[in-house]
């Protein structure tokens, strides 16, 4: 895909621009990155109503990682040797797909020391990704111990693409005064072929759109491949069965056997249809939640007991181990949604877990954004997975190549459906894959986080 820019580019009045547009506009008004980064940090800090904003360009571990810290009273350039860039929390932000919270309950248990007199005690960090590679971070926060960052979380996600292109811009085009002085005012018409800044911006935008097009092409390929693989054999079996019945009318006993085979194949096709309808319902036809107080400890114990009975005759000999709180843990949620989520997770774990290994289910209570949350983790050993592929796990119709090669049943919708259901419960789901002593296997862990209190979404209380 080639984007041909207009000969002249004009912008609306800055007061009418969204934050992402304002960031783009701002780049044309500064002569070098050392001026642009502080100006961008200030714009984001003021727009998101925080008193600390940090912008980083590069990835943790890279020698070129640098950035800027903004507060209403000062701006500080963060060089490659800055202690801020070595904070352990940044590593956690870099591997997390969604904004990650920093507060007194953060795993690192460290306040974010920016200078001797400036400490960020709570905040929110989001990695910035361009062409599937981390090229920076944006961090907003406060010197207060606790703060609600719900609004800032949504705004960070909205500006992520603009920041990704800006960071790519900083890394690939060293700016100097002679070049950028060609742009005096982006509110008037600007010949784009005379502006190195706009040419670089167009190229970065083109690459971003090309990446999106490639993702869409891959999705179409996955759909065609999966539907072909998963429907071809059942349809062939059904057709053959019908032909045999027509040619040689069987005995009552043989007839029943063949009908059973046909029904079994029909069920495979129907399961594919049901999964697609389930995704459609969860994504587009959202129903009103029936919220009730659920004893989560009791719910999980009964759930596991049922699956131990179901799996007793499986050749894999999978065992489910639990780590539950001693006291009863109650959760305000929709029990039908919760049942669907846990069913999909356990079926998924059993399907891909190694033979004669354990599935571990842990539940604990924690704090996030100043409110209590429930954290549910499900882990199992599985063949090693390239960590780069984890970003696609919740995409519809995505399947690992080794799953396809081993003809493991499924069409790649289970995790996508889980994600939709979890988010409707105001929750969040993430997946990690940790190496084991055997390089051929890894420990896969799904982590679900739910609020303990009433959800912010539209709800209806069950009687």
Spell out the domains of the chain, with CATH numbers in brackets: 8-211 (3.30.450.40), 217-283 (1.10.287), 286-461 (3.30.565.10)
pLDDT band at 54 (very low <50, low <70, confident <90, very high): very high
Task: Give the CA diameter of the chain.
Answer: 91
Distance CA 456, CA 180 (A): 46
Sign of CA dihedral 433, 132, 215, 429: positive
| pLDDT over 60 (residue 175) | no
Q: Mean pLDDT score of the chain, rounded to an integer? A: 77
Query: Which residue in this structure is represented by tokens 């409110």?
Result: 371
Distance CA 307, CA 346 (A): 8
- Residue 335: closest CA among 295, 277, 378: 295
Give the relative orientation of helices 335-352 and 296-310 as an angle to the nearest 10 degrees.
Answer: 40
The 133-142 sheet, strands edge to edge: 75-78, 66-70, 52-57, 133-142, 122-130, 100-102
**Residue 140: per-residue pLDDT:** 93
Percent share of the chain, pLDDT over 70: 78
**Residue 185: per-residue pLDDT:** 42
pLDDT band at 10 (very low <50, low <70, confident <90, very high): very low
Beta bridge partners, 66, equal 57
Return the structure tokens found at 358.
């354990």
The pTM score is 0.54
Across 116-120, 180-184, 213-217, least confident range: 180-184
> Could you tell me which residue, 414 or 169, shows the higher pLDDT?
414
Distance CA 90, CA 64 (A): 15
Radius of gyration of the chain (CA): 26
**Residue 56: per-residue pLDDT:** 92
Quick one: residue 141, left, alpha or beta (phi over 0 = left, psi -120 to 50 = alpha)?
Answer: beta
Across 296-300, 326-330, 404-408, least confident range: 404-408
**Residue 32: per-residue pLDDT:** 61
pLDDT band at 41 (very low <50, low <70, confident <90, very high): very high
**Residue 23 and residue 166 in contact, taking contact as beta carbons nearer than 8 Å:** yes
Q: Tell me: the pLDDT tens digits for 340-376?
A: 899 989 988 888 888 888 889 999 888 876 678 889 9
Query: Which residue in this structure is represented by tokens 């983790």?
Result: 377
Say what the alpha-carbon torsion angle 316, 317, 322, 328 is, to the nearest 10 degrees: 110
> Could you tell me which residue, 123 or 462, shows the higher pLDDT?
123
Q: What are phi and psi of 136, to 5 degrees?
A: 165, -175
| pLDDT over 70 (residue 293) | yes
Distance CA 40, CA 399 (A): 39
pLDDT band at 110 (very low <50, low <70, confident <90, very high): low
Sign of CA dihedral 323, 452, 300, 326: positive
| pLDDT over 50 (residue 16) | no
| pLDDT over 70 (residue 31) | no
Distance CA 180, CA 199 (A): 12
> Could you tell me which residue, 135 or 268, shows the higher pLDDT?
135
CA 402 → CA 381, 384, 386, distances in Å?
A: 15, 10, 11
The arithmetic mean of pLDDT across residues 16-41, rounded, is 72
The arithmetic mean of pLDDT across residues 187-216, rounded, is 60
The arithmetic mean of pLDDT across residues 185-193, rounded, is 45
Collect all residues with Cβ–Cβ distance below 8 Å to 194 and sequence separation of at least 6: 182
**Residue 205: per-residue pLDDT:** 67
Percent share of the chain, pLDDT over 90: 10
| pLDDT over 60 (residue 463) | no
pLDDT band at 258 (very low <50, low <70, confident <90, very high): confident
pLDDT band at 208 (very low <50, low <70, confident <90, very high): low
């Amino acid at each position: 895909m080639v984007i041909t820019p207009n000969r002249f580019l004009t912008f609306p009045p800055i007061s009418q621009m969204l934050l992402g547009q304002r960031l783009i506009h701002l780049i044309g008004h500064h002569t070098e990155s050392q001026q642009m980064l502080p100006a961008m940090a200030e714009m984001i800090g003021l727009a998101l109503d925080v008193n600390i904003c940090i912008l980083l360009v590069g990835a943790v571990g890279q020698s070129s990682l640098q950035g800027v810290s903004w507060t209403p009273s000062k701006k500080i350039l963060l060089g490659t040797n800055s202690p801020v860039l070595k904070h352990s929390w940044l590593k956690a932000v870099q591997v997390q797909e969604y904004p990650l919270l920093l507060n007194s309950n953060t795993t690192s248990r460290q306040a974010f020391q920016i200078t001797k007199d400036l400490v960020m005690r709570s905040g929110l960090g989001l990695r910035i990704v361009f062409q599937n590679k981390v090229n920076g971070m944006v961090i907003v926060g406060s010197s207060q111990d606790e703060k609600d960052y719900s609004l800032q979380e949504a705004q960070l996600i909205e500006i992520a693409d603009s920041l990704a292109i800006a960071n790519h811009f900083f890394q690939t085009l060293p700016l100097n005064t002679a070049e950028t002085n060609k742009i005096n005012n982006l509110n008037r018409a600007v010949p784009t072929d005379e502006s190195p800044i706009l040419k670089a911006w167009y190229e970065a935008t083109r690459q971003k759109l090309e990446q999106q097009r490639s993702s869409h092409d891959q999705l179409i390929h996955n759909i065609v491949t999966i539907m072909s693989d998963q429907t071809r054999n059942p349809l062939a079996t059904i057709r053959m069965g019908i032909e045999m019945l027509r040619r040689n009318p069987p005995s009552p006993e043989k007839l029943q056997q063949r009908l059973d085979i046909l029904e079994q194949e029909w069920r495979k096709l129907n399961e594919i249809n049901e999964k697609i309808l389930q995704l459609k319902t969860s994504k587009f036809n959202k129903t009103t939640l029936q919220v009730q107080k659920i004893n989560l400890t009791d719910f999980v114990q009964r759930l596991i007991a049922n699956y131990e009975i179901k799996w007793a005759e499986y050749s894999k000999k999978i065992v489910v181990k639990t780590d539950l709180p001693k006291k009863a843990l109650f959760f305000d949620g929709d029990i039908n949604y919760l049942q669907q989520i846990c069913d999909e997770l356990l079926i998924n774990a059993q399907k891909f877990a190694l033979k004669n290994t354990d599935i571990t289910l842990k539940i604990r209570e924690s704090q996030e954004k100043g409110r209590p949350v429930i954290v549910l983790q499900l882990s199992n050993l599985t063949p090693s997975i390239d960590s780069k592929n984890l970003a696609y796990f919740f995409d519809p119709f995505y399947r690992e190549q080794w799953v396809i090669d081993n003809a493991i049943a499924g069409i790649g919708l289970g995790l996508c459906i889980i994600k939709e259901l979890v988010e409707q419960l105001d929750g969040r789901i993430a997946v990690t894959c940790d190496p084991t002593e055997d390089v051929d296997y890894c420990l896969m862990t799904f982590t679900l986080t739910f609020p303990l209190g009433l959800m912010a979404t539209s709800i209806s209380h069950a009687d």
